[in-house]
Structure 1
Amino acid sequence: MTVHAIIGGTGLTQLEGLTLSAALNLDTPFGAPSAAILRGNYAGAEVLFLARHGHPHRLAPHRINYRANLWALKEAGAEAVIAVNAVGGIHPDMGTGHFCVPHQLIDYTSGRVNTFYEDDTQAVEHIEFADPYDAGLRAALCAALAAEGCAYSSQGVYGCTQGPRLETAAEIARMQRDGCDLVGMTGMPETGLARELGLPYACLALVVNPAAGLSSTPISMADIEQALRAGMDQVRATLARVLAGA
């Protein structure tokens, strides 16, 4: 069976139901990952879990050591990665509580270290990245969402912004023109780094708010937290179905 790593984002700093066998505090050539990597059994499958923002949630999106996170997961034995992301909805279909398994992304970040090929210690490899997400993992996530009866979209374009502030209405309008369906802050460089390491990678995105300027009321952190609480049971059930069928 494939050993899956789950990277938990905002709202998923721990994986309830995980039968823990080890907590791995790994060092990497790029420093320490966000938190200990938890190895255990979930839905009858071996799984690795990492809290992207640390546990408790403390690391802003631009301060996450993405390279250490991905490197440590591979060192721990990960063979594929499912990333859970809380996002804002841009496309009209992407309302609060809706799930999306994106097929494309646009990177709007700046200043993040986005490659393992940062110095001259090894030959640079220009990875193929036309389709950033793994088709097999995406199909498994979509099948699990359908089986759970979740409202979801089987594709979408994820726009990754710098954060930690939310976007302006004009920025979201630009992203709409660019073709983005979702907005988040952690999709890159995580996705690209997984590709550099040869790790199949897919994103399970939960919409927790309408993006800036697309609602008649301001974005409220209380509303976001409520949407996260409401959606996490479905996230865990979806992950369990994917792992059980791996």
Structure 2
Amino acid sequence: MNLRRRQEVVKVEKAIIGGTGVYEIGKSSQQKIKTEYGSVIVDIVKTSNGTEIAFLARHGKGHSTPPHLINYRANMKALKNLGVKYIYATGAVGSCNENFAPGDVVILKDFMDFTKTRPLTFYEGSETGVAHVAMDAPYCRNLREKFLNSAQKTGLEIKGDAVYVCTEGPRFETASEIKMYKMLGADVVGMTNVPEVVLAKELGMCYQTLGIITNWCTGIKGAVIDHDITDIVEKNKQLITETFMLALTGEELSQDNCNCKVSLLKL
């Protein structure tokens, strides 16, 4: 990786956020983006056709930050300050749906939030004001369609759509909790997609997450997590990255056919 720091912030419209096991996507330069919530290091990757794509390692390059302490607001505001409009993300998840096994890849369609202590919004009254954000379509239908089309070309198999439960972490969930989530209609469980997806929507950015299933949830098929979950991520990482790149550099992206940029209602 080229560690040269750019003196001026360039504008980049497309970004990838890497979750557990996805800490870089190729040769890049770095930019340090300052926000009111803190500074963020973002890699800038130039593709073979000259397109620049921002890459942000959600947990840090060495997985140094646990899920409940990630500075989600700084991360998302840094991408917004770069000019980002379109974001693909990965997330390592456990499965509570017997049809989705470890090693499978799913595309998130909705979420349930069971986090407890995280700042969930940019709008907390006072100077920032008060606002509500629509959640009828948390994930961008345009990015979803482009990713599925690109996956057909790269050969990446998508097992299906999934409802995601976000828990606080860093502990895994109990068998009783998983039983409850499953009864509520959950397919997969993770620790990082909320508030990331909400903040993206507040900032008017198109956002779509791909879930990489690394394990069975506690109590499902009697499984105990006794392996390194990054091993499974590694098996899928290259093909997922290729699919992201194709989706971001293929047909021109537009925000005209979704409501992502107009989901915020300020009061």
TM-score, length basis structure 2: 0.85
Q: How far 1:43 moved relative to its partner?
A: 5.2
Is 1:108 equivalent to 2:124 in the alignment?
Answer: no
For residue 236 of structure 1, what is the aligned residue in structure 2? Answer: 241
Map 1:185-204 to 2 at 5 A. Answer: 185-204=191-210
1:75 to 81, 92, 95: 81
TM-score, length basis structure 1: 0.92
Residue identity in the other structure for 2:152:
A
User: Post-superposition, which runs of at least 4 consecutive aligned residues in structure 1 deviate over 3 A?
Assistant: none
Q: What is the rounded CA distance, in whole Å, between the counterparts of 1:42 and 1:214 in structure 2?
A: 41
Map 1:141-160 to 2 at 5 A. Answer: 141-160=147-166
Unmatched segments (≥5 aa) in structure 1: none
For residue 24 of structure 1, what is the aligned residue in structure 2? Answer: 31
Residue identity in the other structure for 1:28:
T
What is the RMSD of the two structures over their aligned residues, measured on CA atoms?
A: 1.5
Pick the structure with more strand per residue. Answer: 2
Query: Would the aligned equivalents of 1:101 and 1:154 in 2 still touch at CA under 8 Å?
Result: yes
Higher mean displacement: 147-156 or 105-114: 147-156
Unmatched segments (≥5 aa) in structure 2: 1-11, 252-267
Q: How far 1:101 moved relative to its partner?
A: 1.0
For residue 263 of structure 2, what is the aligned residue in structure 1? Answer: none
Aligned residues: 239
Q: What is the rounded CA distance, in whole Å, between the counterparts of 1:172 and 1:27 in structure 2?
A: 39
Q: What is the rounded CA distance, in whole Å, between the counterparts of 1:37 and 1:116 in structure 2?
A: 20
Q: How far 1:74 moved relative to its partner?
A: 0.9
Q: What is the rounded CA distance, in whole Å, between the counterparts of 1:209 and 1:243 in structure 2?
A: 29
Q: How far 1:154 moved relative to its partner?
A: 4.1
Q: How far 1:122 moved relative to its partner?
A: 3.1
Q: How far 1:244 moved relative to its partner?
A: 2.6
Query: Would the aligned equivalents of 1:104 and 1:131 in 2 still touch at CA under 8 Å?
Result: yes
For residue 5 of structure 1, what is the aligned residue in structure 2? Answer: 15
Q: How far 1:100 moved relative to its partner?
A: 0.9
Corresponding residue SS for 2:170: coil
Higher mean displacement: 66-75 or 224-233: 224-233
Residue identity in the other structure for 2:235:
A
